[in-house]
Amino acid sequence: MLLRHTPDTIVKREALTIQPAKTCQPVGALYAALGIHRCLPHSHGSQGCCAYHRSALTRHYKEPVIAATSSFTEGASVFGGQANLLEAISNIFALYDPDVIAVHTTCLSETIGDDVSQIVAKAIDEGKVPPGKFVVKASTPSYVGSHVTGFSNMVKAMVDEFSTRTDRRENIVNIIPGFVEPSDMREVKRIAEQLKVKVIVFPDTSGVLDAPMTGQYKMYPRGGTTVKQLIATGDAMATIALGHIASQPGARQLDVKCKVPCQTLGLPIGIRATDDFVNALRVLGGSVSEELEYERGQAVDVITDMQQYFFKKKVALIGDPDHLVGLAGFLSDIGMDVRHVITGTPGKKFMKRVHDAVGTDMLNVRESSDFFYFHQLIRNEKPDLIIGNSYAKYIARDEDIPLLRIGFPIYDRIGHQYYPIVGYRGALRLCERILSILLDRQDRDTPEESFELVM
């Protein structure tokens, strides 16, 4: 047993986190920046940070993840990284010709107190930013928040840099999809298309981190939200933020800056949450297509047919807050018994959101938490299924509980880039994956006399 030292007795810890259920802010900022077309993300800090952020994303997406770094050495670490960033900006535009450089800070540059806005202003003054090119900057120290808040900060920075209000109001809806997979972003766009609503999804990593093998390396793949679209977000008639932590701050910033009214919904995971999303688009002028209704009906049919296998099955969830709220709601809708819900991302309202989604407060919910606590909860009350990222596999193996990999990071499986979990199709896929896992386990454990061909 790899985790044999985890005790069953839970004691209160205040100053110690053991295997946090999150990663650092720049990872999320880098991911968001990749959702801008022809953007080169830039890490203002040491090479080690940048190497880690890139490898985390590369391992998850199995795609090359580009980023530059200010490459702090001892001098920059003591005296500040202005000279490094100025040189980096001019080198990057000269060598790699992106439309946008998206700078995020790291623990080191934040601790020194580098003023990135001032450095970028100086770069513009000195002519280091060519005409028609942009530098976005987000503050992402990792001693606060998580990769999800890093994503959110970079989205806010996009609004600050690009969104512009003119005297026109366009019949367009902005959608901020949250820190979800490229497949989910693609599905969000497809649903909007089904309703015939014109949307700008930003950021958008579909077509960037799920690109096909062509035999040719393309530094800037065809996907991503263009600068033109980002500027146009200021003239949209509304913004829908999917997820309170990852998306709401950007949507509110757009409201403050350009007076684009916004509403925040949960991630459209499951039937109920997808209905909310579809309805929001309908109210904004869309009309629900027959095909979408058909998809919904198929998902409901599967849930109805297989309900007896979901019913009262205990499930424990660990991951990112917006995902967890959506998943907890959906799993309880299909009859499962949600027992433990743990996130490493801070957020005071998380507990209430989960309770509201599940419809009861009789479960363990905690924010700013870790895998150690999650494991202790599981040792005290064993679930039938764990849903979490790859790090949960150690607990799953030790406790002999099946694991469904959802969330970030997933280093040891593929599929998450290509198959959505949002929308009605996503709900169908979730059901199929959960059922396969539960029925495989039933087949494995059932006595010979009860072993059934038809289930």
Interface with ligand SF4 by CB under 6 A: which residues?
24, 26, 45, 49, 52, 106-107, 142
Nearer to ligand SF4, 24 or 317 (CB): 24
Strands 39-44 and 68-69: parallel
Of the two residues 28 and 268, which places its CB atom closer to ligand SF4 in the complex? 28
Distance in Å, CB of 49 to ligand SF4, minimum:
3
Q: How far apart are CA 203 and CA 4, in angstroms?
A: 42
Residue 197: CB partners within 8 Å, gap ≥ 6? Answer: 173, 281, 284, 285, 286
- Whichever of 26 and 41 has its CB closer to ligand SF4, that residue is 26
At closest approach, how far in Å is the CB of 30 from ligand SF4?
11
Minimum separation from the CB atom of position 225 to ligand SF4 (A) = 25
Which is closer to ligand SF4, CB of 46 or CB of 376?
46
C-beta closer to ligand SF4: residue 49 or 318: 49
Please report how close the Cβ of residue 32 comes to ligand SF4 at its closest, in angstroms: 15
Burial 61-82 (b: 16+ CB within 10 A, else e): bebebbbbbbbbeeebeeebbb
Q: Which is nearer to ligand SF4, 69 or 183 (CB)?
A: 69
Please tell me the distance from the alpha carbon of residue 369 to that of residue 113, in angstroms, as a whole number: 28
Around Cβ 289, how many Cβ atoms within 10 Å?
A: 15
Q: Are 392 and 319 in contact (CB under 8 A)?
A: no
Q: CB of residue 313 vs ligand SF4: minimum separation in angstroms?
A: 36
In the complex, minimum distance from the CB of residue 76 to ligand SF4, in angstroms, rounded to a whole number: 14
- State the DSSP H helix or E strand holding residue 263, giving kind and residue range, or none if neither: strand 262-265
Q: Alpha-carbon distance 387 to 50, whole Å?
A: 29
Write down the least CB distance from residue 344 to ligand SF4, Å.
13
Report, in Å, the least distance between residue 377 CB and ligand SF4.
26
Instruction: Residue 54: name the closest of 29, 77, 74, 36 by CA.
Output: 29
CB nearer to ligand SF4: pick between 107 and 236? 107
**Two structure tokens written together for 241:** 């933020």
The answer to whether 29 and 41 have CB atoms below 8 angstroms apart is yes
Distance of CA 280 to the CA centre of its chain: 21
Q: Smallest Cα–Cα separation from 387: which of 329, 315, 443?
A: 315
Closer CB to ligand SF4, residue 48 or residue 335?
Answer: 48
Residue 451, exposed/middle/buried by CB under 10 A (0-12, 13-18, 19+)? Answer: exposed
- Among 192, 197, 96, 149, residue whose Cα is nearest residue 344: 149
Q: What is the DSSP letter of 407?
A: S
Indicate the residue among 48 and 64 with the shorter CB distance to ligand SF4: 48
For the bound state, the minimum distance from the C-beta of residue 106 to ligand SF4, rounded and expressed in Å, comes to 4
Report in angstroms how near the CB of residue 84 gets to ligand SF4 at its nearest.
15
Phi, psi of 239 (to 5 degrees): -125, 135
Q: What is the residue-wise DSSP string for 27-87?
A: HHHHHHHHTBTTEEEEEES-HHHHHHHHHHHHHHHTS----EE----HHHHHH-SHHHHHH
Decide whether 106 or 274 has the Cβ nearer to ligand SF4: 106
- Number of Cβ atoms within 10 Å of the Cβ of 384: 18
Which CB sits closer to ligand SF4, 52 or 419? 52
* Minimum distance from residue 381 beta carbon to ligand SF4 (Å): 32
